Structure 1
């Protein structure tokens, strides 16, 4: 695990750490207080991954294609 702020993580970083958190919680060898902290971190990491995926989906959806499947251009995504 890293001390990096979840809000600064890329999708890949957040996913990798989330997998580590889940692994530790599944093993069950973490004290209760540490488990709570891990669970909270895991919830934040999950939300970060969901947010980054939604961003990517919106960017892909903003690409318009012509009849041949060729990009015509993009339209700005709200907030960009």
Structure 2
């Protein structure tokens, strides 16, 4: 992976996958892109950056690269 390529990695997860992430599970890779548009026709819950939220019916979600920050990792874990 090149963190400077400004690509968004799209992965699919279900509830069981969410629990398995803590032990190293990575999810099912769907796509890599610069911009993403998701159109939903029914209400659903979603999660972004660990924060759950509710999406009402008939909503379009546009996602794009807005910047980059460094992520710190604890090497002692």
TM-score (norm 1): 0.26
Higher relative helix content? 1
Report the structure number with the largest CA radius of gyration.
1
Higher relative strand content? 2
